[in-house]
Amino acid sequence: MAQADKLTPIGTAAKKAGISRQSLQYYLMVGLLEPTEVTPTGRRMFDKKTIEPIKLIRKLNDSGYPLRDIRELFLEGRTDLKGGKR
């Protein structure tokens, strides 16, 4: 199976992570994570490994952490979950 076959679009990735598409778009906009790949037409695609950080962001945010603090945790490498290619 080719790499492209394993990638899912933003709506499907959001659903798998248990958040809305808009929330995932916001996470991307504020720099919490990056898509695994962006197609030539601009579609943001995600693999299974990128779904886990999305779930972690949701759990941390639901437990009271502001997104700004979650972003800092990711940037400092204080979590072993990183989304996308960095």
Domains and CATH numbers, the chain: 3-75 (1.10.1660.10)
The DSSP letter of residue 69 is: H
From residue 54, alpha-carbon distances to 2, 25, 26, 58 in Å are 23, 11, 11, 6
Four-point Cα dihedral 44, 46, 51, 57, nearest 10:
-30
Q: How confident is the model at residue 1 (pLDDT cuts 50, 70, 90)?
A: very low
Cβ of 17: how many Cβ atoms within 10 Å? 21
- Model-level pTM? 0.78
**pLDDT, tens digit (0-9, with 9 covering 90-100), for 8-61:** 999 999 999 999 999 999 999 988 899 999 999 999 999 999 999 999 999 999
